[in-house]
Amino acid sequence: MTRADFMLRLRRGLAGLPLSAQDEILGDYETHFADALAAGRSEAEVAAALGDPGRLARELRLEAGLKRWEEDRNPSSAAAAIMALVGLGAIDILILLPLLTGVVSAIAGLYVAAIAVFISGGGILVAGPFFDPPGGPLFAVLLGLGLMGASVTGAALLTIITIWLVNGLVWFGRLHYRLIKPAIQPEPSYSERGLS
């Protein structure tokens, strides 16, 4: 593979990252090629030593997604980290994806339930005193406030559980990436180690 082919495939794989991050990464690899060529290695040797540019791009996207989650914990960065992890293919999709789908569906359903309880609590709070409820108007007001408070508490707990889930996936991705990284990086040659 030539330098141009490698850089083109790497650029395509980095699509979606901020342009400044893409330029920095591509600049680093251009420098790597230039240094290796100055040391007498061919473009094909350098490209072979670097490995598959598509795989390399997925690893770099994973690292960028994980950094984004660590810096800015919001739903968008959580989704980016999870998608980068899945894009790397570092986890067994046949086992983890159905489990993750079930957990995410349950959490989403509980969020919808919390919103429904909040809305019904608001309805009881506002309309309850006017319809002569069984416990009286004060009971309706307190019941409405109680339902709204319970739904807010439930949503807060779900948010904490969601953050723990994303942190667990990020931890798993980093651990898995560290375990597979030696297998995907070629062993340096004797000349690169300074041995003859």
pLDDT tens track for 90-99: 445 556 777 7
pTM higher than the cut 0.75: no
User: Angle at which helices 137-184 and 93-127 pack, to 10 degrees?
Assistant: 160
Q: What pLDDT, in 10s, does the model give residues 66-98?
A: 677 677 777 776 776 666 666 655 445 556 777
Which residue in this structure is represented by tokens 């090629």? 33
